[in-house]
Amino acid sequence: MQYNAVSTNGIIQLKGGTTMKKTLIILLAACLVLPLSACGAKEKVTTIQNTEEIQMNKIDWQKNVNDLPIVEFSGYTESPGFIAHSMSQLKQANKAVVKGTVYNLVKMDSPHNRAYTKVIFHIDEVISGDKSLQDKTINLAMHGGVTTSNSWYFNKNQTREANHDIMVQYKESPPPQIGAQMIIGINPTDKKAPTEYVKALKKNHFDFNKTYDIGMPLFNTWIKNPDAKKYILNNPEADKKLADDSAMKQGMDKLTAELNKQFNNKGQNQTR
């Protein structure tokens, strides 16, 4: 069958067959749809991949800790330091204030009578301070974690039972869940500080180029676990500890509300 090109008002039309017209329409539609589909598929794969990585990290961590006896401990031994109870104070007290995602938890070899966990933390947003931290993954060490009964009870009320792994949980600073979001102030760790904490970091081969301390972890750590609807202070004992300082308590409540208003449900979890 022959097809003749006919010009009508400058528009080229093919005459002589409906089959060719249908073919051209289908090809044109495919050209428009395929790039969009490919783009959407790429975004979807990236999101799923990140979610699957976090889920796998959760599964691996739970395998290691699920069957361990839990030892709850009250009496946080570190110096409390300065408690920021306004946004301006929080920004001034830290090199950066960031919002991010707990990507993974790693068991540490902790000193006697202590327990730490390495937290691999992805910075989703720099709220204030060093903007170069945006989308970086940093290392934190948080209180609580897996240690041994002999190490935890060293020179204390040590039982006669065989040495075994235990999970230590500080009541004032519960361990975050993998996949949780946190808002924290951070400062570079001083690797020259002569403390048991820094010795523990060195023993566990922390890279000090990307290791940070949380500014005032007891009262300036806000957490939103995966099933939670809002950020809360990561300290169930906070109200009790602040009961004698009503101004501080009101300031902390106001700051928590402000952080939720500005940063809760803002954006999506992103990892690496």
Domain count, the chain: 1
Domain annotation covers residue 72: yes
Higher pLDDT, residue 195 or 25: 195
Q: Is residue 41 part of a domain?
A: no
Residues 22-37: what's their mean pLDDT? 45
Long-range contacts from 157-164, C-beta under 8 angstroms, 24+ separation = 164/69
Percent of the chain with pLDDT over 70: 76
- pLDDT for res 4: 47
> Does residue 16 form part of some domain?
no
The predicted pLDDT at position 77 comes to 58
Rounded to an integer, the average pLDDT of 188-194 is: 96
Determine contact, residues 196/112, Cβ cutoff 8 Å. Answer: no
213, with CB counted inside 10 A (0-12, 13-18, 19+), is: buried
260 pLDDT band, cuts 50/70/90, is very high
- Work out the mean pLDDT of the chain and round it to a whole number: 83
CATH of the domain at 152: 2.40.50
Give pLDDT, residue 161. Answer: 74
Q: What is the pLDDT of residue 40?
A: 40
**pLDDT of 196 over the 60 cut:** yes
Query: How large is the average pLDDT for residues 194-220?
Result: 96
Q: Let me know if residue 106 belongs to a domain.
A: yes
- Asked, for residue 42, whether it belongs to a domain, the answer is no
- Angle formed at CA 244 by CA 225 and CA 174, multiple of 5 degrees: 20
CB 71 within 8 A of CB 146: no
| 44 in any annotated domain | no
Confidence of residue 33 (pLDDT cuts 50, 70, 90): very low
Residue 87 lies in a domain: yes
Tens of pLDDT, residues 157-187 = 766 678 999 999 999 999 899 999 999 999 9
Structural domain including 105 reads 68-263
Q: What pLDDT score was predicted for residue 35? A: 43
What confidence score (pLDDT) does residue 67 get?
Answer: 94
pLDDT tens across 106-154, in order? Answer: 999 999 999 999 999 999 999 999 999 999 999 999 999 999 999 999 9
Looking at the domain assignment, is residue 40 inside a domain? no
**Alpha helices by DSSP H, 167-208:** 196-203
The model's confidence at residue 81, banded by pLDDT at 50, 70 and 90, is confident
